[in-house]
């Protein structure tokens, strides 16, 4: 599996940098965001170094699908309310204009009560 030795998220998925792990298998790692933007905020990353969504190839489609399938399961486990009255948000930032700060593909999964909704 391809890793970038200078990539923060590669180091996290390899256990070289500590994180609050939520899930791990041979291809995917999920952990809590260290600077949460919502009451529930975690990241899902591929262990394979894919710099950004637009770098993904057709061969990565099954991996990306597994990441998307994992998002609602972990969201529910972390306390997001299921269904129409609950829910969560999945965000993928791509490139500088898209707000990407770490160049390793990652899904932000955010949920819980929205502070701006009163």
**pLDDT tens-digit series, residues 68-109:** 999 999 999 999 998 888 999 999 999 999 999 999 999 999
User: Cα–Cα distances in Å, from 69 out to 16, 18, 20, 77?
Assistant: 27, 25, 20, 13
Residue 53 token pair: 């969504």
**Residue 92 contacts residue 53 (beta carbons within 8 Å):** yes
Catalytic residue numbers? Answer: 106
Report the CATH number of the 8-41+49-98 domain.
Answer: 3.30.428.10
pTM value is 0.94
pLDDT tens by residue, 6-23: 999 999 999 999 999 999
**Residue 88 contacts residue 109 (beta carbons within 8 Å):** yes
Residue 81 token pair: 């309310």
What mean pLDDT is reported for the chain? 94
Query: Which sequence spans correspond to the domains of the chain?
Result: 8-41+49-98
């Amino acid at each position: 599996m391809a890793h970038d030795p200078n990539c923060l998220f590669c180091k996290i998925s390899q256990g070289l940098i500590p994180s609050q792990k939520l899930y791990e298998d041979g291809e995917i790692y999920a952990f809590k965001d260290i600077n949460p933007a919502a009451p529930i905020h975690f990241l899902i990353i591929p262990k394979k170094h894919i710099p950004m969504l637009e770098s993904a190839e057709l061969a990565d489609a099954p991996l990306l699908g597994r990441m998307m399938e994992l998002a609602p399961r972990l969201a529910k486990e972390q306390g997001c309310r299921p269904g129409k009255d609950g829910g969560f948000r999945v965000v993928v930032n791509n490139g500088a204009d898209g707000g990407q700060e770490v160049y390793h593909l990652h899904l932000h999964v955010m949920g819980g009560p929205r502070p701006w909704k009163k």
